[in-house]
Amino acid sequence: MSLTQRTILFANPGAELYGSDRVLLESVSGLVESGWTVAVTLPASGPLVRELQDRGAKASLRPTPVIRKKILRPRGAVAFLSAAVRGFFAGMCLLSRLKPDVVYVNTMTIPLWIALARLRGIPVISHVHEGESSAPRFMRSALAVPLLFATEIIANSKFSVGVLATSFSCLARRALVIHNG
């Protein structure tokens, strides 16, 4: 390992092969080809894990609270809080072990990783893959608050940036649009 080799930790909310997961795979491939050590943390196993490993990334499973509509129900809220507590300790241990140069949070639905990276003094990039313009304003704002603490924000479209602007105009000014593909 050279002294200049850098490490990135991607945090992803699932292990399927949907749109944001495929964008993640392309990013992983590019960084591995550029000589980065790439690690990815996911809350569960699935087809994405094999794809990541085939591209040279190290995948690890860690509890991570994922923001979904079910957290609005009592049982879902309890499960979310439980995953947050377990995820906090598991995430801090992973960051201590990996010592990444940067953490890349692959959606707005896993804000814990923004907090963990910032607590450890690690730069964090957050990738916004979609704008939920139909959600009530308070929900859009609640989803956007963690982005205030991200070092950098990537959005997949001007539409997504526009949705961010309805919550916090400063986020829209900070966002860099990189189209999928």
Query: How far apart, in Å, are the Cα atoms of 150 and each of 18, 77, 107, 137?
Result: 24, 24, 12, 21
Q: What is the pTM of this model?
A: 0.93
Quick one: which H or E segment has residue 102? strand 102-105
Tens digit of each residue's pLDDT (9 = 90 or more) over 127-178: 999 888 888 888 889 899 999 999 999 999 999 999 999 999 999 999 999 9
Looking at the domain assignment, is residue 171 inside a domain? no
State pLDDT tens for residues 46-68.
999 999 999 999 999 999 999 98
CA distance 69 to 173: 28
Q: Examine residue 141 and state whether it is found in any structural domain, yes or no.
A: no
Residue 103, domain CATH = 3.40.50.2000
User: 70: which residues sit within 8 A by CB, 6+ positions away?
Assistant: 76, 79
What pLDDT, in 10s, does the model give residues 73-126? 899 999 999 999 999 999 999 999 999 999 999 999 999 999 999 999 999 999
| Res 26 pLDDT > 50 | yes
Residue 177 lies in a domain: no
Is 164 inside any structural domain? no
Is there a domain that residue 56 lies in?
yes
Percent of the chain as helix, strand, coil, to the nearest 5: 50, 15, 35
Structural domains counted in the chain: 1
Measured CA distances, 46 to 70, 146, 157 (Å) = 21, 27, 28
Whether 41 is in a domain gets the answer yes
Domain carrying residue 83 = 7-136
Residues with Cβ within 8 Å of 151's Cβ and at least 6 positions away in sequence, in order, are 123, 124, 125
Which has more pLDDT, 16 or 70?
Answer: 16
Report the length, in residues, of the chain.
Answer: 181
- Residue 144 near residue 108 (C-beta atoms within 8 A): yes
